[in-house]
Amino acid sequence: MFVCHDIRMTPALVWLIAAIVLIAAEVLSGDFVLVMLGLGALAGAGSAAVTGNAVIDVLVFAVASAGLIWIARPALKRRFLHGSGVKTGIEALIGAHAVVLSTVDGHTGRVKIGGDVWSARSLVEGQPIQPGTRVTVVEISGATAVVSPEP
């Protein structure tokens, strides 16, 4: 027996599909406009689910999209284009505090930075640093931390 169901798309579903398409398209543009429109379409979907009034749905979409474009978009662009100021990787180690595990001289030694053990050498040639001494990481040279004793 063959049964054909009448499939009708509710306005909320249409808004939801539009939101998904716009947000997915943002991956190609990277300008944060389409994602703002997609979020506005999500607001329109919410409005359609609650009110069922097309005029109100379009107004909610327009106000939400405009607000996001004028308020949220500039902040997001600043954050992603100029960075958050958070250092990562090797940059995050510069200025970090460490503890000497084995005597550090101008060529060899071991320090513990955070939870990791690193090979290390002293910033000043001929200035050995004894185990247990707190040091500051001045630079990273390859896989070696260049350190200086803390005052």
Q: Which residues pair with 99 in a beta bridge?
A: 112, 134
* pLDDT, position 119: 93
pLDDT higher than 60, residue 8: no
pTM score of the predicted model:
0.49
- Take residue 30 and report the two structure tokens written for it: 């990277």
Q: Which residues of 28-43 are buried (b: 16+ CB within 10 A; e: fewer)?
A: eeeebbbbbbbbbbbb
* pLDDT, position 30: 74
29 Cβ contact list (under 8 Å, min separation 6): none
What are the tens digits of pLDDT across the range 120-144? 999 988 889 999 999 999 999 888 9
* pLDDT, position 86: 63
- Take residue 114 and report the two structure tokens written for it: 């955070």
| CA gap 15, 103 in Å, rounded | 66
Over range 88-99, report the average pLDDT.
Answer: 84
17 Cβ contact list (under 8 Å, min separation 6): 9
Residue 126 sits at the vertex; the CA angle it makes with 120 and 129, to the nearest 5 degrees, is: 50
What are the tens digits of pLDDT across the range 29-88? 777 888 899 999 999 999 999 998 999 999 999 999 999 999 988 888 877 766 656 666
What are the tens digits of pLDDT across the range 10-39? 888 888 888 889 888 888 877 788 889 999
Q: Which residues pair with 146 in a beta bridge?
A: 121, 139
